[in-house]
Amino acid sequence: MQTLLLNSDDVHANCRMSELIPAVEDAFAAYETGDAQMPPKSYIDLPQYNGDFRSMPAYLDAGDWDAAGIKWVNVHPDNGEKFDLPTVMGTMIYSDPENAFPLALMDGTELTMLRTGAAAAVATDHLAVADASSMGVIGAGVQSYTQLRAISEIRPIEEVVVSDLSEERVADFIDTFEGEFDVRAGSIEEAAGCDVLSTVTPVEEPIVPRDAVGEHTHINAMGADAEGKHELADEVLLDAKLVIDDFDQTTHSGEINVPYHEGVLSDSDIYGAIGEIVIGAKEGRTADDGVSVFDSTGLAIQDVAAAHVAYEHADENDNGYEFDLLGLAE
């Protein structure tokens, strides 16, 4: 038996959004119905290097398929300046649940970007107005690209407003998408007024005010992934149909972590988990809904679902590099 090595190009080529979105939706459902195991994300803090490591293991049984794996990922904000490396890098180990054989080692950075976009698409599909045609993006880093790619798979997005402190990042984003969408630079307020808004910034002081958000805007709050991060004004969260991916993670390090621990926001302000909506235990958008918010911290079950899609297609397409990791070849 051989282990398959998949680099970022291999992951990208074999993890198509049309299949990744339903796979991530299946993962949310499995987690909600108890058909998944996902221990809490563990952190190794390295203040001497201004960084940290995070380990994210999971197993899920989606009925037609099951999968297991673990992602080892870091956040080192000084990497670009000091080492010409990405701030975030990840490695995914994808294993056969039946016998634990390591089926694949794959780039977890590309995997993370793709599954994060897919998670936002799942939430948008259930919570945004059906005819949503405009999308705002606040933060034009690498995550912004998969947000638009994924959400445009499930809503007829035509107009895109992108806002970022860096004119260069905005220009790059526009260059990438101007042939596909009516895309332009705009203010935070202009982006927030769109039918769908994705926020993908690392800020610790809210930048999206309540009065800027459209009457029926659905917001994917994707940026907060650590204690103290906070993109949306408290009033936005309090007024919205607030949906989370996981209670422990969102209260610890998601968009709601600051107002929750300050007592501004309580359990009663949380409408439910995305998994509850996916399986039909709670309603998604209704005719009476105004603003909705999906607080996404990123779950290990999403990584495993994405790794499943990437591996299955890579194996079919003969992509990647096979090697005898365990030395079992005779």
Instruction: Please check whether residues 312 and 281 belong to one and the same domain.
Output: no
Q: Are residues 305 and 234 in the same domain?
A: no
H-only helix segments in 201-319: 234-239, 247-253, 257-261, 274-278, 300-317
**Residue 71 known to be catalytic:** yes
Q: How far is CA 60 from the centre of its chain?
A: 18
Residues 267 and 134 in one domain: yes
Residue position matching structure tokens 């999206």: 208
Query: Is residue 330, in this structure, part of any structural domain at all?
Result: no
Are both 195 and 279 inside the same structural domain?
yes
- For residue range 50-91, list pLDDT tens digits in order: 999 999 999 999 999 999 999 999 999 999 999 999 888 999
Closest CA relative to residue 296, chosen from 151, 90, 93: 151
Has residue 120 been placed in a domain?
A: no
CA–CA distance, 106 with 225 (Å, rounded to integer): 22
Report yes or no: 25 and 280 within 8 Å, Cβ to Cβ.
Answer: no
Burial environment of residue 203 by CB neighbours within 10 A (0 to 12, 13 to 18, 19 or more)? middle
Say if CB 305 and CB 67 are below 8 A apart: yes
Strand partners, 53: 44, 74
Q: Give the pLDDT confidence score for residue 67 in this predicted structure.
A: 98
Question: Crossing angle of helices 108-127/142-154, nearest 10°?
Answer: 40
Domain that holds residue 60: 3-112+300-323
Answer yes or no: is 199 within a domain.
yes
| Cβ neighbours of residue 141 closer than 8 Å, sequence gap 6 or more | 164, 169, 200
Same domain, 19 and 157: no
Element (H, E) at 192: helix 188-192
233: domain CATH number? Answer: 3.40.50.720
Q: Are 29 and 154 found together in one domain?
A: no
Claim to verify: residue 178 and residue 239 sit in the same structural domain: yes
Supply the CATH number for residue 306's domain. Answer: 3.30.1780.10
Residue ranges for the known binding site are: 115, 142-143, 223-225, 229, 296
Contact 217, 196 (CB under 8 A): yes
Binding site as annotated, residues for NAD(+): 115, 142-143, 223-225, 229, 296
**What's the chain's length in residues?**
330
Report yes or no on 122 lying in a domain: no
Are both 90 and 140 inside the same structural domain? no
State residue 40's pLDDT score: 86
Residue 290 in 3-state DSSP?
coil
Asked if the structure places residue 329 within a domain, the reply is no
How high is the pLDDT of residue 257? 96
Q: Is residue 243 part of a domain?
A: yes
Q: Specify which residues 294 forms β-bridges with.
A: 220, 243
Q: How far apart are the C-alpha atoms of 270 and 295, rounded to whole Å? A: 10
The partner residues of 155 in beta bridges, in order of sequence, read none
101, 8, 97, 69: which is closest to 324 by C-alpha? 101
Q: Determine, yes or no, domain membership for 306.
A: yes
Name the residue type at position 161: V
44 confidence band (pLDDT: 50, 70, 90): very high
Indicate if 74 and 139 belong to the same structural domain: no
- pLDDT at position 41 over 90: no
How confident is the model at residue 280, as a pLDDT? 98
Alpha-carbon distance of 59 to 98, in angstroms, equals 11
Same domain, 236 and 316: no
149 and 244 fall within a common domain: yes
Residue 328 in any domain: the answer is no
pLDDT higher at 301 or 142: 301
Same domain, 239 and 307: no
Residue at token pair 């958008």: 285
Q: Which of 71, 82, 241, 282 is catalytic?
A: 71
Instruction: For residue range 212-251, list pLDDT tens digits in order.
Output: 999 999 999 999 887 899 999 999 999 999 999 999 999 9
Residue 1 pLDDT > 90: no
Q: Distance between alpha carbon 9 and the CA centroid of its chain, in Å?
A: 19
Residue of 176, 175, 186 whose CA lies nearest to 135: 186
- Count the domains in the chain: 2
Place of tokens 């005779």: 330
